[in-house]
Structure 1
């Protein structure tokens, strides 16, 4: 059991942030090195779209199960398992010379993220209290949201000047450092109550449903939307979703506790989190378009998003302070509106080169300001509105929304881009891909307006 006398240290925070970074910084760098990987490995854009979305898909599928398992077998142990998987996954990518190791490595990276994310949040909740915990969780967010911002810049720079495989060699170094930094932390487990039997059936149905839906989105255009294979995939996804909701609603040990969604603020935070992570599809569309349509290198396209990186890192702590003063709803709304405007202006592909470059730079900066403002108030709303005995499950579902949102956002955006590009050229493809992400942001905004009450977060603010 947990050693209550132990107090969390900066060394532990650093180790956890390194673990989080191996996913958000390195695993997600794939979105910015599409042309380089395609050229080097000789894989089709369809295969690469699958490889990119698989990591977020697998982390999304297994994150709730891994969070529950961490409570049972130990959060530190689960973090270590995640770091080992991160090393193995990165090694597969370093050794890849075709699609096989690329796909296997991306799946393992997804499983790694599923182990690391809920386990590290639980460690921070266990070993830090009050303002220290808030600070620790802020650094966790900076590792996650900031890592996704740095990945464009650093991933592009490494791919251009060192070769894309160096991204994953550096990832292995970070994972090893993470191991070393958390090695002295005592183990932490949850008190076991009620039905602890694992929901294997629920997990199997969930995996089949999500994989069918993902393959339908990523491969539908290549197979043909009216092909019997595509139609079967869609039918499997729909039937799987119906069966999953039915069987989970009746279980005491359900993989996903649908009872949590009876709480409107929690639902508003989780749904908007899913949709604003789906807007990550913008990164794929914008990065691919400026390289294919405007002749940018990977590094130059990464430089375009430096404003996003600076803004998201600067605003995470600001969002936390605004939350404490006026509650969660307003910063969540402001964040979504800024994201919507930032993404929307990137669709103005009719603009000449220099003007468009400036507009994309501003768009990315607004995108970062929006997500930074939104991050802490949203997480706080989700966690503070969950019952005490279900905080782990609620956090797992909330983080699952992040991963699945990102997986489906990237898959849908890349599919829309590829479909339009083959018939109408890359300019129209970029506009279509951006419009898709604007729709995600609009629905996110509506979910906050209608589900999150005005006083959310005020009572919890200290």
Structure 2
């Protein structure tokens, strides 16, 4: 039957808690590596692998989870994500060696794959127009700002209570999120007979994504042109070709490529991939100021504090601008401001204090631009997706975020490392930053040429009659 349920602030809060509990688990470990390594008696290599596994498993399964959410229920898949987050966090709380550390990180990757697309889909289902844009602003605060929030809170909690308390708090946040979502009715596409799923497509997709993610995350360790790396690239290319061919000839598919016929959705997804790729800036800048300029970890972290403040402050502003002028302009402004901020961090020829000022302003502009961009981009991707495939489309959009960030970090670190090997750290940092400036410029071009001028303008959306209004199906 149909439901006239409209989303509430309680629902928004529960969803934001879900997004934050994933980031609290996924990001906070980066800040406590020495403590975890010492406490558990494991090597730094083991901890680094554990860190990579969450993004690896999230990236592999996020599209599948979004597609399944459309079919079996978005709230159901979100709740599965909450439960997986609790189990994953509990594994780290109880860990006394590498086994539970690794298992916990894998489970949390799966939790993120469930939570991210299903919560976007719930917001599309139960909010419309400006209300949806407002809801997505808070979702963006949890997602885009979550990495900074988790990084800051993770360090503070670890310093005062111990690193295991990060994951105890993550469990509490997840439980609260589930309770807040309890009153939200189920949402899924209209059922047509028995449940059917593209298992063949899923297997091909997982193999392809596994090869790609292993290459991105471990290419530097394996050697970018080693035999193993070459095999991984070949598997990725062949897997992609086979996947497209198989999916093009089936009725029940994992990814409906028809969503990419919508230029607005394609532009939002491509620019999302590229702006997330500029995350490589953070790695290059933080490494350079510590190795090349003698900053300690705390001082380097303070330089990026402006990023956290700006991205959190500007996301709601981006929403308001979206409602005034549509999505295209704030997406372009956001990409331009982000690119300028990135470029400032490449001015390594500047002496001590001026360079520190340039980096601080650069990080602030980086966050400012992403704040402008976040809600208009997410709203464009959601509003452009078919109502029965919004979970799947959201999964692809969020996979672009994960892959973009992983690509950007890997390519930037490789560029920096290649030049730094000669001993010229100043040039290494400049070249590593230039790579990210290029990502930003291509992102701007993708928005200019693909996103239509009326995207996100609620006044231009066709009005739906009550009889024909597409409401989620509940059972």
Normalising by the residue count of structure 1, what TM-score does the alignment of the two structures yield? 0.89
Residues 157 and 299, structure 1, Cα contact 8 Å, conserved in 2? no
Q: Distance in 2 between matches of 1:439 and 1:294?
A: 25
Match of 1:171 in 2: 170
Q: Distance in 1 between matches of 2:350 and 2:114?
A: 44
Pair 1:73-2:72 in alignment: yes
Match of 1:330 in 2: 329
> Aligned runs of 1:280-429 on 2, under 5 Å?
280-424=279-423, 427-429=426-428
The CA RMSD measured in Å over matched residues stands at 2.9
Question: 1:292: how far off?
Answer: 4.4
Question: CA 1:173/1:303 → structure 2, altered by over 3 Å: closer, same or farther?
Answer: farther
Residues 136 and 379, structure 2, Cα contact 8 Å, conserved in 1? no
Question: CA 1:176/1:318 → structure 2, altered by over 3 Å: closer, same or farther?
Answer: same
Match of 1:268 in 2: 267
Question: 1:270: how far off?
Answer: 0.7
Question: CA 1:433/1:311 → structure 2, altered by over 3 Å: closer, same or farther?
Answer: same
How far does the alpha carbon of each residue in 1:188-211 deviate from its partner, in whole angstroms, 9 at most, with x for none?
333124895211111111111122
Gaps of 5+ in 2: 462-475
Question: CA 1:180/1:325 → structure 2, altered by over 3 Å: closer, same or farther?
Answer: closer
Between 15-24 and 406-415, report the one with greater CA deviation. Answer: 406-415
Match of 1:106 in 2: 105
Question: CA 1:257/1:98 → structure 2, altered by over 3 Å: closer, same or farther?
Answer: same
Question: CA 1:193/1:410 → structure 2, altered by over 3 Å: closer, same or farther?
Answer: farther
Between 353-362 and 451-460, report the one with greater CA deviation. Answer: 451-460
Q: Distance in 2 between matches of 1:446 and 1:339?
A: 14
Residues 57 and 407, structure 1, Cα contact 8 Å, conserved in 2? no
Question: CA 1:39/1:442 → structure 2, altered by over 3 Å: closer, same or farther?
Answer: farther
Question: CA 1:185/1:326 → structure 2, altered by over 3 Å: closer, same or farther?
Answer: closer
> Aligned runs of 1:110-129 on 2, under 5 Å?
110-129=109-128
Q: Distance in 2 between matches of 1:444 and 1:287?
A: 23
Question: 1:417: how far off?
Answer: 4.4
Residues 419 and 429, structure 1, Cα contact 8 Å, conserved in 2? yes
Match of 1:54 in 2: 53
Match of 2:231 in 1: 232
Gaps of 5+ in 1: none
Match of 1:23 in 2: 22
Question: CA 1:27/1:224 → structure 2, altered by over 3 Å: closer, same or farther?
Answer: closer
Q: Distance in 1 between matches of 2:460 and 2:55?
A: 32
Residues 63 and 399, structure 1, Cα contact 8 Å, conserved in 2? yes
Q: Distance in 2 between matches of 1:313 and 1:336?
A: 16
Residues 144 and 311, structure 2, Cα contact 8 Å, conserved in 1? yes
Q: Distance in 1 between matches of 2:109 and 2:218?
A: 20
Q: Distance in 2 between matches of 1:157 and 1:357?
A: 24
Between 84-93 and 422-431, report the one with greater CA deviation. Answer: 422-431
3-state secondary structure, aligned to 1:424 = coil
Question: 1:308: how far off?
Answer: 1.4
Between 268-277 and 173-182, report the one with greater CA deviation. Answer: 173-182
Match of 2:472 in 1: none
